[in-house]
Structure 1
Amino acid sequence: MPRKRLSVVVTRRLPEVVETRMKELFDVQLRDDDSPMTPEELVEAVRHCNVLVPTLTDTINAGLLGQAGENLKLIANYGAGVDHIDVGTARQRGILVSNTPDVATEDTADMTMALLLAVTRRIPEGLARMQSGEWSGWAPNAMLGGRIAGRRLGILGMGRIGQAVARRAAAFGMQVHYHNRRRLRPETEEDLGATYWESLDQMIARMDVVSINCPHTPSTFHLMNARRLKLMKEDAVIVNTSRGEVIDENALTRMLRNGELAGAGLDVFEHGNQINPRLRELKNVVLLPHMGSATREGRIEMGEKVLLNIKTFDDGHRPPDQVVPSML
């Protein structure tokens, strides 16, 4: 007699090839549209399914987990970040959590460099001028930006993405510096040509560009607060493709408006899609709608990792990308 298939609920639309493979392997409930599930829909999902496949737009907190049925045994997150999931409570209730690490490394590093160049070379301003028909021709002093070769880049968080950014920046002729919880091995530092700073304050005061590449944890919330932002040079630029909560967005907005910073490139925001309207108005800011990992290849790879985690669990083994509280 064939074994009963796992009941899987997917909270958002995924790439078609991923959804099709899920349908072949499991008893899966897919979304008809790409809107996030309501809190009520999430409660209904966790009450009856074996596996929930959420994304960062879903809040999987203790309250929701408290309403989960006995059948829920795995939360297979579609994405690397799990700060929207109460992993500790899930573990207490015997629910495993998995994620999709390492997929977005190269894509996010590409976007970091794209934002860096967009801000320093004023690309959105030039694009807006062309689209409005205001451009009247080339002029020696028009739309002057800055050369990035020779500038000092300070990377906050030297994990896989930080190191991928370092390699790209070095190819552009930038001088790479970094601050991290743990110093890299000497051979890795040498390979990257990176200078380590134990003091974050000392590093950011000397950088021309600061790139945020650390995760959001209780210890990194507002790590770039008003005091630290004021340590940066007035002609410096800050880029964030990691988590919006790492920067005090209101303080950053004030400094950009007052000319205390030269510019910012942001792909993530402190309050999700609720962006400070004053930030939107600034010409020296480039804002993107969380596109860091948004490549077709990356999204499919993420889906493949979700499938592997669920299939491995279904076969009675530990999901290869299981997340435990001690990792956070």
Structure 2
Amino acid sequence: MSKTVLVLVETVDDYLPLLEEAGYRLIRAPSPQMRSDAIARHAHEIDAVLTRGPLGLTSSEIDAMPKLQIICVIGAGYEQVDLAAAAARGITVTNGAGANAAAVADHTLALLLALLRDIPRGDASTRRGEWNRVISPSVSGKRLGILGLGAVGLAIAKRAALGFDMHISYHSRTPRTDVAFTWYDSPLHLADAVDILVIATPGGAGTQHLVDAEVLAALGAEGYLVNIARASVVDTEALVAALQRGSLAGAALDVFDDEPAVPDALKALGNTVLTPHVAGQSPEAARDTVSLVLRNLQAFFAGEPVLTPVRLHTL
């Protein structure tokens, strides 16, 4: 018997046929209205849900689907999925840890280079017929701090160390024993020791405003911030204030608090580089993401362990 998957995501459409070819029936509901309509009409048919961290799945939605057995989250973050409600029903939750790590790491280095070398403004002024040869900082040899050294953080670290001879430091809850990078016991101590701070940690209550005014002050007037994780990890008001008064050299952001709205204050600044939450998106990443979802679904419905389980205690 085929299983029915409610698809709430909107970024992997080209590769959803992989699921259909494997025999899954898909109900696509990428907008809020389509989502509520699909649950209202098909609640008793849905065996699995495909979502992503910011889209999540609420306790009331979980309660409305009596056949729901597994929730697959694309990407590493799952902050808006009600894990307690899922656990209470015995529903398995998986995420996409590592599936788009290469794409996110590539984009991170692109943002970092664009920010430090002032690429966007140089391009814009050249197109206007100007010839502003501004001297910009080198990237090679800088001290890079990474907040969160999971699959994405590690991919960023390897690129920065091998490609740009950067000294790598990081903060995570516990130090890793499989890397030679320098571990710091807090975001504050990490920021104080580096030139560039990259945010690569999951979102959610546990990481809310880890990077606050104090951390930004420690990063300093010659420091740079790059966020490709979740906007909630950074205090946006404190970030804007630091950028406006010059107590932080610049910031490159792929994530925002109220997407797709971007604060006018950030857009008005000349020391920011802004992209529309696309770090994890590439054809290769989308393919690998859907392939991982398929492997998790196939394992689950065959009674085998899933590949990337999310557990309540991991919050």
| 1:77–1:47 Cα change, 3 Å | farther
**C-alpha separation in 1, matches of 2:14 and 2:272:** 36
Q: Give the C-alpha shift of residue 314 in structure 1.
A: 2.0
TM-score normalised by length of structure 1: 0.88
Residue among 166, 170, 175 paired with 1:174: 166
List per-residue Cα deviations over 1:198-223 (Å, max 9, x = no partner): 24323312321111111124231100
**C-alpha separation in 2, matches of 1:322 and 1:77:** 10
- How many residues align? The count is 313
**1:54 counterpart SS class:** strand
**C-alpha separation in 1, matches of 2:80 and 2:212:** 22
TM-score normalised by length of structure 2: 0.91
> Is 2:34 the partner of 1:20?
no
- Give the RMSD, CA atoms, in angstroms: 2.1
Residue among 6, 10, 18 paired with 1:9: 6
Q: Give the C-alpha shift of residue 177 in structure 1.
A: 1.8
**C-alpha separation in 2, matches of 1:150 and 1:22:** 45
Q: Read off the aligned partner of 2:79 and give its amino acid letter.
A: D
Contact 2:299 2:305 survives alignment (8 Å): yes
Match of 1:80 in 2: 76
1:49-198 matched pairs, under 5 angstroms: 49-68=46-65, 70-131=66-127, 133-135=128-130, 137=131, 142-170=133-161, 171-185=163-177, 188-189=179-180, 194-198=181-185
**C-alpha separation in 2, matches of 1:17 and 1:308:** 17
| 1:202–1:116 Cα change, 3 Å | same
Q: Give the C-alpha shift of residue 285 in structure 1.
A: 0.3
Q: Read off the aligned partner of 2:25 and give its amino acid letter.
A: V
**C-alpha separation in 2, matches of 1:134 and 1:91:** 60
Q: Read off the aligned partner of 1:55 and give its amino acid letter.
A: R
**1:116 counterpart SS class:** helix
> Is 2:257 the partner of 1:270?
yes
**C-alpha separation in 2, matches of 1:253 and 1:14:** 29
**C-alpha separation in 1, matches of 2:107 and 2:38:** 32
Q: Give the C-alpha shift of residue 246 in structure 1.
A: 0.5
Match of 1:297 in 2: 284
Q: Give the C-alpha shift of residue 77 in structure 1.
A: 2.1
Contact 1:79 1:99 survives alignment (8 Å): yes
Q: Give the C-alpha shift of residue 244 in structure 1.
A: 1.1
Contact 2:145 2:198 survives alignment (8 Å): yes
**C-alpha separation in 2, matches of 1:160 and 1:24:** 29
1:172-251 matched pairs, under 5 angstroms: 172-185=164-177, 188-189=179-180, 194-251=181-238
**C-alpha separation in 2, matches of 1:17 and 1:272:** 23
Match of 1:279 in 2: 266
Structure 1 gaps, min length 5: none
Moved over 6 A (4+): none
Q: Give the C-alpha shift of residue 38 in structure 1.
A: 4.4
**C-alpha separation in 2, matches of 1:35 and 1:180:** 35
> Comparing 90-99 with 297-306, which one deviates more in the overlay?
90-99
Q: Give the C-alpha shift of residue 308 in structure 1.
A: 1.3
Q: Give the C-alpha shift of residue 296 in structure 1.
A: 0.5
* Higher Cα radius of gyration: 1
Q: Read off the aligned partner of 2:9 and give its amino acid letter.
A: R
Q: Read off the aligned partner of 1:216 and give its amino acid letter.
A: G
List per-residue Cα deviations over 1:31-64 (Å, max 9, x = no partner): 38x6455452353254431111123452311122
**C-alpha separation in 1, matches of 2:306 and 2:259:** 29
Residue among 293, 296, 313 paired with 1:309: 296
List per-residue Cα deviations over 1:56-83 (Å, max 9, x = no partner): 4523111222222x21111122332111
Q: Read off the aligned partner of 1:7 and give its amino acid letter.
A: T
> Is 2:37 the partner of 1:41?
yes
Q: Read off the aligned partner of 2:101 and give its amino acid letter.
A: T
